[in-house]
Amino acid sequence: MLRQFRPQRSLAKQPISRLLAAWQEPSRSYSIHANAASTAKIQDIDPSKLTITKTKAPKELIPASELVFGRSFTDHMLSIEWTASEGWLAPRITPYQNLSLDPASCVFHYAFECFEGMKAYKDSNGKVRLFRPTKNMERMNKSSARIALPTFDQAAMIKLISQFSQMEERFIPSTKGYSLYLRPTMIGTQKTLGVGPPGSALLYVIASPVGPYYPTGFKAISLEATNYAVRAWPGGVGDKKLGANYAPCIVPQLEAAKRGFHQNLWLFGEEEFVTEVGTMNMFAAIKNKETGQKELITAPLDGTILEGVTRDCVLSLAREKLVPEGWKVLERKYTMKELSEAAQEGRLLEAFGAGTAAIVSPIRNICWKGDMVDCGLRPEEEAGELASKMKNWIEARQYGDEEHEWSYTVPE
């Protein structure tokens, strides 16, 4: 049986001898709920138990050209409740509806929440496809475990998301660039204020039809390097997709916007390492100072940057297609100073952000300590060569124009 860790009170009554005995005998342990799904006694997600309640008031489709990211949602939602004693209960697809939660629920107080961002696409045959869904489910389990929320069977969840996406397929426009944004979300629902692992949780998926990020072609963005706030820290949670990583980013984003920039750029440490662009990973293409070698660089997964799925796609495609053309692909730390020097010496070829929303987002320049670091685009250019290629390569696999294991065709 799982035991709730309710801090201090009961343990405080134990004599120190017993505490030390416990210390010497690590087997006397308080289970971490994050491991709950892997124990035998409580049940994992079971797609065969899915119940479906269809809406009686199907929504009218919004014209594709009027879609705004995350503003309109489909007819239904997928929900799965979890309790520490029973595990994952029967999945339900119901009409999209409000959640009714006790005001003491721990999601409102202690940010017990994590999420994923993924998309369903319609291919040229009208079939629904998911893109690398295992990557998202793997990451979601890492996120939830880090905040003592339950983990789950990834294949079972992909099956349910597939079924849900297929059910909502009328909301996915067939036009290239359009897709159905899927938002798996897990929240802690325990309704007590003690700070401890949630004894209950809710995993749900909502879906929002979205248009292309750049409807009329790329528009390069301008960034402000943030030097007064720090997004993440080694030993922190900046590599997980937790709600906790987002609210604190808004004020720096607004500060950058106030001065006319599209996004802020997160730096780290006295060295001013480049980490992330707003809510995207960042890539820079430079010519090596000594050798002239062309290098595509991005920050390593050291705990301070999100483990982006698009980041992984860019790296994979670069290794597959750019390395044979003579490029080097490097996951390594790099600084603003290095970018600035490369820019001054004409060695900064291009830079771009990478994320699920935009796929790639070309960067025109970065304001750093009041100076503008020019990222290599000509004035009339909105995207560099690599950014353009990457977008095409990734989209070809997302929409199934190129058959590839990254694309998962949903059974009808």
Binders of a second copy in range 349-408 (CB under 8 A): 357-358, 361, 364-365, 367, 379
Q: Which of 21, 52, 155, 323 binds a second copy (CB under 8 A)?
A: 21
Q: Which is nearer to a second copy, 100 or 291 (CB)?
A: 100
Distances (CA, A) of 59 to 72, 74, 175: 10, 7, 20
Q: What is the CA radius of gyration of the chain?
A: 23
Q: Which is nearer to a second copy, 197 or 308 (CB)?
A: 197
- Which amino acid is residue 66, in one-letter code? E
Residues 176-205 binding a second copy (CB under 8 A) are 181, 183, 185, 187-188, 192-197, 204
Distances (CA, A) of 287 to 94, 293, 316: 54, 5, 20
Two structure tokens written together for 270:
């006295």
Residues 298-327 binding a second copy (CB under 8 A) are none
Please report how close the Cβ of residue 223 comes to a second copy at its closest, in angstroms. Answer: 11
* Helix (H/G/I), strand (E/B), else coil: 155: helix
Q: Which is nearer to a second copy, 263 or 407 (CB)?
A: 263
Contact call for residues 114 and 72 (beta carbons, < 8 A): no
Draw the binding track, 230-269, toward a second copy (x: CB under 8 A; -: no contact): x--xxxxx----xxxxxxxxxx-xx--xxxxxxx------
Please report how close the Cβ of residue 227 comes to a second copy at its closest, in angstroms. Answer: 9
Q: Which of 228, 291, 324, 325 binds a second copy (CB under 8 A)?
A: 228
Q: Which of 39, 54, 61, 104 binds a second copy (CB under 8 A)?
A: 104
Buried b or exposed e, range 57-72, using 16+ CB within 10 angstroms: eeeeeeebeebeeeeb
Q: From CA 263, how far away is CA 8, in angstroms rounded?
A: 43
279 binds a second copy (CB under 8 A): yes
Q: Which is nearer to a second copy, 108 or 327 (CB)?
A: 108
Q: Which is nearer to a second copy, 131 or 266 (CB)?
A: 266
Find the part of the chain contacting a second copy (CB under 8 A) among 21-29, 166-174, 328-336, 404-412.
21-29
Q: Which is nearer to a second copy, 23 or 385 (CB)?
A: 23
Q: DSSP character for 212?
A: -
Distances (CA, A) of 221 to 131, 182, 216: 26, 26, 14
Find the part of the chain contacting a second copy (CB under 8 A) among 106-114, 172-180, 282-290, 330-338.
106-114
Please report how close the Cβ of residue 395 comes to a second copy at its closest, in angstroms. Answer: 18
**Residue in 42, 35, 5 with CA at minimum distance from that of residue 142:** 35
**Residue in 336, 355, 268, 337 with CA at minimum distance from that of residue 304:** 268
386 contact partners, CB below 8 Å, separation of at least 6: 283, 285, 296, 318, 322, 349, 350, 352
Q: Which is nearer to a second copy, 85 or 124 (CB)?
A: 85
Q: Which is nearer to a second copy, 13 or 48 (CB)?
A: 13
Contact call for residues 229 and 245 (beta carbons, < 8 A): no
* Helix (H/G/I), strand (E/B), else coil: 406: coil
Residues 33-72 binding a second copy (CB under 8 A) are 34, 68-71
Please report how close the Cβ of residue 297 comes to a second copy at its closest, in angstroms. Answer: 23
Residue 181 backbone phi and psi in degrees, to 5: -75, 125
Q: From CA 385, how far away is CA 312, in angstroms rounded?
A: 19
Draw the binding track, 142-171, toward a second copy (x: CB under 8 A; -: no contact): ---xxxx-----------------------
- Count Cα neighbours of 405 within 13 Å in the Cβ-side half-sphere: 3
Q: Which of 1, 16, 40, 57 binds a second copy (CB under 8 A)?
A: 16
